[in-house]
Every structure is written in structure tokens, then in C-alpha cells.
């Protein structure tokens, strides 16, 4: 079987997606800054009979991220599905008139350089398989910019543009690129934004392979 790599894996959405795709037979590569966290998640998945490994990398460090994905490929096999869903830092969310060029470095590294690095690393393997899925998970500022969250508004918009370009370019090769926009917070127990519900949504996007942008809930405008 092939592998899903979850970048930004944590105990909420990442764990839910790992369980959902793992139940379908995918091995799971869990990538986050904390090796301790990913190892704990991998142990939980193993108790459910899911093969998983943890890998430590900061998405703002392209060399470390590429190395983690390469190690995942070696340890678990070809990466067929890439999910990019790290949670942005709070200091990315400054009011627009207080946002300097230096303040945009982090968000751009996080939401543009990170996805580009990850896609470039896994794309040769997907092409060798003849199939693949890239899932970009973003907040609502990806489509409705917020004046108090300038960094994520700008960086998510750039990530969205990159994803749309990939969607339009790679579809003919059997590689589906899609974005799931989650307005507001992920809310346990919510009928549309509970982690398990979102994981099911992402599974559906992977299976049905239609369209680029999908919404987990209605946008607040």
C-alpha cells in the first residue's frame, strides 16, 4: 500500500485524518516540529493496527521538510497523498496597517515555501505511481481577507493560487490537487467542523477527485 503524509500532524485534525485514511489501508507519515508528538500519535495509530511513523521538521526549513518527506518515503514507501495543514502562528495575524515587510517573511515561508517544497519533494513519486492527491487545508482568510489577520490573508491567498495552478496543471497526469477551506476554528462536536467530520470530508475529496476549492462550512463575510 502507499502512504499519506500529513504535514502539521497534531492531536486534532491530523490524528483524525490519519485514522480515517489508515482505516483504508494507507500507511501514515506524521510530520510536525515535535518528534515527541508525532511518535505519540504513531503509537496511538499502531494500537488500531495502522502503520505510522513520526518525522520532525519545521515547514519554514525547506531542507528539513524535504529530508523528512524523503525519510518517510524510504521508511513507508511511495507518498500517494500529501496533506499540508500546519496551524499558522499567532504572530502571523497582525492588523494590516501594523504589518511590515519583515512581518510577512514568516507567513510566506509557512504557506508558500512550505507547500512548494513539499510538493516538489513528493511529485516525482506520484508521477511514478501514475496517481496522487495533494490536499491543502486553509482557514477562511484564504478567500475572505481579514484586516486584523494580514499575514495569513496574504499568504493563504498565495497558497491558494499555487494550489489552483497545480490543479490545472497536474490533473491530466492523474494527480488531483484540492483545497479545503475551514472558516473559523475546528470545533469538536460541530456537525461540519469536528475533526472526524473534516477527515471524512478530506477522504471524500480524495476519492471523488472533482473541483479545486471545497468549504467545510459557510463563510462569514
Q: What is the pLDDT of residues 188-202, one digit of tens each?
A: 999 999 999 999 999
Ramachandran angles phi, psi of 123, nearest 5°: -60, -40
Q: How confident is the model at residue 89 (pLDDT cuts 50, 70, 90)?
A: confident
The mean of the pLDDT values for the chain is 96
pLDDT at 128: 98
Q: How many domains does the chain have?
A: 1
Q: What CA–CA distance (Å, rounded) separates 68 from 53?
A: 11
pLDDT at 91: 84
Q: How confident is the model at residue 70 (pLDDT cuts 50, 70, 90)?
A: very high
Residue 72 has pLDDT above 60, yes or no: yes
| Domain membership flag for residue 155 | yes
The 10 Å Cβ neighbour count of residue 36 is 10
| Domain membership flag for residue 43 | yes
Residue 138 has pLDDT above 90, yes or no: yes
pLDDT at 7: 98
Q: What is the pLDDT of residues 156-179, one digit of tens each?
A: 999 999 999 999 999 999 999 999
- C-beta separation of 35 from 25 below 8 A: no
Q: How confident is the model at residue 23 (pLDDT cuts 50, 70, 90)?
A: very high
What is the domain range of residue 178?
A: 3-215
Backbone φ/ψ region at 214: left (φ over 0), alpha (ψ -120 to 50), beta = beta
| Domain membership flag for residue 24 | yes
Q: What CA–CA distance (Å, rounded) separates 199 from 195?
A: 6
Q: Which residue, 64, 70, 203, is CA-closest to 125?
A: 70
pLDDT at 151: 96
| Domain membership flag for residue 220 | no
Q: What pTM did the predictor assign?
A: 0.96
Ramachandran angles phi, psi of 5, nearest 5°: -105, 125
| Domain membership flag for residue 221 | no
Residue 221 has pLDDT above 70, yes or no: no
CATH of the domain at 73: 3.40.50.720
Q: Using the 8-state DSSP alphabet, how is residue 111 labeled?
A: I
Amino acid at each position: 500500500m502507499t502512504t499519506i503524509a500529513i504535514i502539521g500532524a497534531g492531536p486534532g485534525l491530523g490524528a483524525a485524518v490519519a485514522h480515517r485514511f489508515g482505516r483504508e489501508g494507507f500507511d501514515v507519515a506524521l510530520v510536525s516540529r515535535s518528534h515527541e508528538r508525532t511518535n505519540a500519535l504513531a503509537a496511538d495509530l499502531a494500537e488500531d493496527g495502522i502503520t505510522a511513523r513520526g518525522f520532525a521538521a519545521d515547514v519554514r526549513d525547506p531542507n528539513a521538510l524535504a529530508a523528512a518527506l524523503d525519510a518517510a518515503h524510504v521508511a513507508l514507501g511511495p507518498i500517494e497523498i500529501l496533506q499540508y495543514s500546519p496551524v499558522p502562528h499567532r504572530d502571523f495575524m497582525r492588523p494590516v496597517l501594523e504589518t511590515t515587510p519583515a512581518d510577512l517573511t514568516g507567513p510566506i515561508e509557512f504557506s508558500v515555501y512550505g507547500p512548494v517544497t513539499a510538493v516538489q519533494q513528493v511529485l516525482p513519486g506520484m508521477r511514478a505511481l501514475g496517481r496522487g492527491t495533494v490536499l491543502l487545508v486553509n482557514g477562511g482568510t484564504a478567500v475572505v481577507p481579514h484586516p486584523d489577520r494580514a499575514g495569513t490573508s496574504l499568504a493563504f491567498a498565495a497558497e491558494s493560487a499555487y494550489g489552483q495552478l497545480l490543479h490545472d496543471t497536474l490533473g491530466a497526469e492523474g494527480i488531483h490537487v484540492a483545497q479545503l477551506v475551514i472558516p473559523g476554528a475546528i470545533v469538536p462536536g460541530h456537525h461540519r467542523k469536528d475533526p472526524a467530520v473534516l477527515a471524512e470530508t478530506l477522504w471524500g475529496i480524495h476519492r471523488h477527485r472533482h473541483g479545486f476549492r471545497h468549504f467545510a462550512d459557510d463563510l462569514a463575510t
